[in-house]
Amino acid sequence: MKTLKELGLLKGGRIGEVAGRGPLAQRLLAMGFLPGTRLRVVQIAPFGDPVTVELDGWRVSLRLQEADALRIIPDADAPANGNGNGKAHG
């Protein structure tokens, strides 16, 4: 599993785990960052932090510190995975 930072721009995957036991983890779960949910990194801010992800049809930006709670199972290593998610902007 990878963090969002390791995942890289325009790469997608499924949430494997929401790590941590604090209010942050609870908030992420409440916002729909559930294990198994597909997400994709769509933007990285000019100074490398925060990053914006797309999930369930909406977008949200997180600081890398917060994003570290998300452990992602990257999409199969195949370069583009067919359903349009791995390719460049829509």
Question: Are residues 18 and 24 in contact, defined by beta-carbon separation less than 8 angstroms?
Answer: no
Does 77 contact another protein by CB under 8 A? no
Identify the residue among 32, 76, 81, 82 touching another protein (CB under 8 A).
Answer: 32
d(CA 52, CA 15): 15
Which sign, positive or negative, has the C-alpha torsion 10, 14, 15, 16?
negative
Using CB under 8 A, count the residues that bind another protein. Answer: 36
- Is 60 a binding residue for another protein by CB under 8 A? The answer is yes
Rounded least distance, CB 3 to another protein, Å: 15
Residue written as token pair 């390719």: 87
Which one, 55 or 73, has the nearer CB to another protein?
55
The minimum distance between CB 83 and another protein, in angstroms, equals 8
Which of these, 88, 87, 9, 13, lies nearest to 48 by C-alpha position?
9
Which residues contact another protein by CB under 8 A?
18, 21-32, 34, 42-50, 52, 56-63, 66, 84, 89-90
